Structure 1
Amino acid sequence: MNAVVASVVIMLLLSLCRIHVVVALIIGAISGGLIAGLSLEATIEAFNNGLGGGATVALSYATLGAFAVAIGKSGLAHALADRALALVGRQTDASAVNGVRFLIIGLLLAIAISSQNILPIHIAFIPLVVPPLLYVMAKLNMDRRLVACVLTFGLITPYMFLPVGFGGIYLNEILLANVSENGVDTDDLRVMSAMALPALGMLLGLLIAVFFSYRGKRDYNLDAIARTERVDASYSPRTLVMALVAIVAAFVVQLWLGSMILGALAGFVLFNLSGVVKWKEADDLFTEGMKMLAMIGFIMIAASGFAEVMRETGDIATLVQSSVATIGDNKPLAALLMLVVGLLITMGIGSSFSTIPIIAALYVPLALEMGFSPLAIVALVGTAGALGDAGSPASDSTLGPTSGLNVDGQHNHIWDTVVPTFLHYNLPLLGFGWLAAMVL
């Protein structure tokens, strides 16, 4: 059995059985290495060599967690909850309440989309914006699985369709560059035309989640949210202004220096200097915040080790070659298998940006031989890379939403984020990506 397929399947099955994702990644990586014929020592060495790739992201999330806790201390969460609850309290009929629900959904969707291009901060906004809204969402009986789907859509669709911000990196610097390096003339290609149908598949998944799958009510423990989010905290105009100043400073530093770590630290230091966070409380608050997002950090570190073992096995190329032997001259089957293989690889690695360089060298020559047009090849490779970003236990597009929705322990990463986003996005993306390859 192919080691990549085996390791991804083992990791996913363990995760679905509620084994912690870090443990599932480690077991999956070791199993894949041994199945590929690597010795235990070589497998562990490859895993260890890959761990450093996730260290920067892990430290970024740890410092961001500390910054988020400081914002909670400022009372900004309480102020937002008070305003939103007042708005909810004024509504007397079901249609008005639904209006507030859609207002929250629209706000989160707009911020998530903007985080990929207008203000490219990726998931950094989630632990700052989402936790203050949990109490209000619980009052409205909003299903957090819906919010997870909304956030994941906003984190993925812009970069796979709009060539600005992170989309400029994914579409121009990674996708078109790798397709071009492997023999396709991309000078006159409109990348948005190639990715329009796959993006439409993502939109279809979002609409199904909003208007069908999770339109019903779901109950959450309000007391647990109140304890976690300091709903009873006091605040003043001064502390609220300082919170807003700290948030702006954190974003400016992050964009200026390109470091989420320094941005979060700048915001936390401002809270200390202003007296919102007392010096004697700073150490405990920082530790509390690091704990809040520590899980994401460890998962990203383990995922980097997992990806390195997969590369070391050499079975990614074998997986593609074995698929070629099955294809023959069947173009529809070729397109489908290339997309499914891309899904498997990204589900394991957890990053679309890291998947494209791996698969482009294998897919482009095959697609050219099969007679796919340049536009279809770009759509195939771009969709194959994006497949699995939603629905991967190790992707920051799923870890980010969980970090904001699970601060009170009432949102399971696998069953409330990973499974819903996998079903609502990977399945339509698979279908619309295949259609794009056939019609372009």
Structure 2
Amino acid sequence: MAPAITLAAEAPKLSAANTGFMLICSALVLIMTPGLAFFYGGMVRVKSTLNMLMMSFISMGIITILWVLYGFSAAFGTDHGSFIGWTSDWVGLSNIGLTQLWDGYTIPIFVFMVFQLMFAIITPALISGALADRVKFTAWSLFIALWATVVYFPVAHWVWGAGGWAFDLGVIDFAGGTAVHINAGAAALGVILVIGKRVGFKKDPMRPHSLPLVMLGAGLLWFGWFGFNAGSWLGNDDGVGALMFVNTQIATAAAMLAWLIYEKIRHGAFTTLGAASGAVAGLVAITPSGGAVSPLGAIAVGVIAGVLCAMAVGLKYKFGYDDSLDVVGVHLVGGVVGSLLIGLFASGKGQSTVEGLFYGGGMTQFWKQCAGVFAVLAYSLIASAVLAFLIDKTIGMRVTEDEEIAGIDQAEHAETAYDFSGAGGGVVGAAVSALAGTESKKVDA
């Protein structure tokens, strides 16, 4: 019998199916940023609604341009010292062929680039929820440009770039537990420690002005997150993306239920804000872990994240830091929980053969996860605080106290979210004016 002939593995070829799938996923990730804007916008008082929306929307403009000019090259270019990437041919997206494939995959570089762009856009937008009511729009715009350059682009390279130290160490982060959520949550904490509390923190009521907007935003986030998570496998050829899709739904549902049960036991009611926040906590926690755990593991991740994040949102009152919309409690804590639980619940049957402690793998992966989690947390917290301090000492980070009390929407954007001028007079008109927080009545909406 003639000897067997071993053929070299064929080079990947462009897949129209995977390319189309990834373009759809990219659009899903982009819609998460307007979803986040609605989620945050409903959680603030009437007088801050537009500013909250704009803090997310401006990220779509600034980060897109930076990503094209140098961000993509810095995050995913040729490794330099395990800290940063750089490929000069990618500056300005130059010298990239239309059908030139992302190394080892069946999608063009342009498709991978635009998918990762959407991650880069939403990450600084996440920070904005911690700073509601009090930050100058110009200062915020400058901050996110500097933060993306100094923090996000390097951290994305650490975690996902070939040659990045966390990537080489074997830290598992399927879709952004460290690079996105811990990164943004730690940054939020660093900035609020510099700029201080809102006027009236722990004294005045600062309730959400529109819970329907919050629920709409949470629904858009949940919907878009399937692209965020399942798309991060960059294809559909082996079922891992499908596992991630399934686990995303499972963990989100489990976290929402766990948050509501905790809330009922602790506070006596099932709230819509709790349902929305619990869902987001589950989405955050499954983001790094969903490709490594089983569906039953996803339930565990969701339940643990839902309870711990619900507990964590109250820490701001205990420790006195003003995290306006619970970015630290949900994104930082949820990202840490989801990332570390990989070391316990990784089944070895998903994205890799790595097994966690409960599947016989010992503590090796857990310690790797700790290294990634706490390195990103420390770097982002310190760098973000330094950037906020420098901006505060130069152009100033905060609006004046009078502007904050009167309403940042009018001060920074010369607009209000709701125009009730045609609402009529009498009892109805007076009630509507009070709701809107008109300056003449000095009502704090």
Whether TM-score is above 0.5 comes out as: no
Q: Which has the higher helix share?
A: 1
Normalising by structure 2, we get a TM-score of 0.29
Normalising by structure 1, we get a TM-score of 0.29
